[in-house]
């Protein structure tokens, strides 16, 4: 019974990580396409064609990690506030 409770808590934290990671990836794609490409395209020239996939991957990984951890933190804070009230 204790093991099942641990799996439920881990599952909820994993779900918070995945949802936060998805938000992070979406925000990083928006950042890359809307802000990063127009500001760096004139200086790079045609190299932006080769550089864009690499930047999407790097910013995507960064967005996944940061968004995932922020999702867990936000979930824990909301859970703590709801329990105290």
The CA distance from 18 to 25, in Å, is 10
Asked if the structure places residue 5 within a domain, the reply is no
Report if residue 19 sits inside a domain.
no
- Output helix, strand, coil percentages for the chain, rounded to the nearest 5: 100, 0, 0
Q: How far apart are CA 21 and CA 61, in angstroms?
A: 9
Range of 62's domain?
25-84
Give the pLDDT band (50/70/90) at residue 80.
very high
| Residue-level pLDDT at 64 | 92
Please report whether residue 6 resides in a domain. no
In a domain? residue 50? yes
Measured CA to CA, the distance from residue 58 to residue 52 in angstroms comes to 10
pLDDT in tens, 17-68: 999 999 999 988 888 888 877 777 777 777 777 788 888 899 889 999 999 9
Q: Which pTM value belongs to this model? A: 0.76
Give the count of domains, the chain.
Answer: 1
């Amino acid at each position: 019974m204790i093991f099942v409770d641990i799996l439920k808590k881990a599952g909820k934290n994993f779900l918070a990580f995945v949802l936060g990671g998805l938000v992070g990836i979406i925000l990083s794609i928006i950042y890359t396409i809307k802000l990063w490409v127009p500001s760096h395209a004139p200086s790079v020239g045609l190299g932006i064609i080769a550089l864009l996939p690499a930047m999407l991957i790097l910013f995507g990984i960064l967005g996944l990690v940061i968004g995932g951890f922020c999702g867990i933190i936000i979930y824990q804070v909301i859970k703590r506030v709801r329990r105290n009230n």
